[in-house]
Amino acid sequence: MMRGKRELYFFVAALILLQAAFVASSSLEITGRQSYIQNVYSEAQIQKYISISTSGNLSAGIEFGTITVLPSTDVNATKNYNSTVDDSWHNETLYWIVVSGDSNTNVDLCVKADNLNTSGGDEIPLTNYNWSDNVTNDEFWPSLGDSRNMTNTSYVKGSADIPAGSSNYYRFWLSVPASQPAGTYNNTVYFKAVENGTACGT
C-alpha cells in the first residue's frame, strides 16, 4: 500500500514537472500594476489617380509612308509637321499625349518600342528610329536635335512633371540605310505615364 502511494506521488510529481516545463517554454508575461489605456485611432488615406490619352493621330499609329529613296535619313512621320487644321497653327505636330483633368498627380512620360521588322524577319535597327518630345508644340519643338533612339529593353523617360490638363508633344524620324531590304516594317511604340519622380520601369 505504501509503495503504491509512492508510485502515485511520483506520477503526480512528474505531471507537475511536465506542466512546469510547458509554462517555462511558453512566453509568459508577468506585469506589475494593472493599468487602463484608452487607445484612440486616427486614420488618413491618401488616394492618387492618373489618366492619359493620346491624340487621335497618335492613336491611329505613327506612319512613315512609302520610302522610295535609299538611303534616307531622318524621314519624318506623316503627322510630324501637319497641323493645318487652324490658321493659328503653323507646322505643329499632331502627335501628343494629354494628362486628364481627372488626375491629381503630376506625371512623367516614358517611351519604348518593339523591334521594327517585317513579317519575314527583316529588321530596321531601333537606333535608326528616333523620337523627341516637348511640352511646347511649334515648328521647332519637339526638335530633331533633342531626339533619341527608340529602345526595346526598357522605357526611356521623356518630359517630366506634367500636370493634369496639360499635353506633351512628340515627333518621330526614321533613317533607312541603302542596304535595307524592301518590305513593310511594323512595330508597336508604348507610351506610359508614371508618377512624377518614379522610374519608368521595363
Partner 1 sequence: MMDSRKLASIALLMCFVLLPQAAMASKGVGIVWSTQTEAVAENARHCINYGVYNPWDEDVTAVLTVSDTLRPVITGEYSTPTFLAAGTMHDDAKQIQLCFYVPKVYTDDCLVGNMLFCEQTCSEPEVRYDGEVIVMEAAPSGQTGAMGSTTALGVSAPLTLRVTCNEYPRDYTIIIVGVVCVVAVGGYYYFRIRKKKK
Residues at the interface with partner 1 (CB under 8 A): 3, 6-7, 10-11, 14, 17-18, 21-22, 24-25, 45-67, 77, 85-86, 97-98, 100-103, 107, 113, 116, 172, 184-195, 198, 201-202
Cell numbers 518621330 correspond to 172
CA distances from 54 to 87, 99, 109, 182, 189 (A): 23, 9, 12, 31, 12
Give me the least distance between CB of 188 and partner 1, in Å please: 5
| 187, three cell numbers | 512595330
Residues 6+ apart with CB under 8 A from 56: none
Q: For partner 1, give the closer residue by CB, 136 or 184.
A: 184
Q: CA angle, corner 91, sides to 133 and 155, nearest 5? A: 15
On whether the CB atoms of residues 173 and 76 are closer than 8 A, the answer is yes
**123: which strand partners?**
117
Q: For partner 1, give the closer residue by CB, 135 or 150.
A: 150
Give me the least distance between CB of 154 and partner 1, in Å please: 10
CA dihedral angle for residue 23, residue 26, residue 32, residue 38, rounded to 10 degrees = -140
Q: For partner 1, give the closer residue by CB, 105 or 141.
A: 105
| 181, three cell numbers | 531590304
Give me the least distance between CB of 198 and partner 1, in Å please: 5
Q: For partner 1, give the closer residue by CB, 83 or 134.
A: 83
Give me the least distance between CB of 15 and partner 1, in Å please: 9
Give me the least distance between CB of 90 and partner 1, in Å please: 16
Q: For partner 1, give the closer residue by CB, 56 or 140.
A: 56
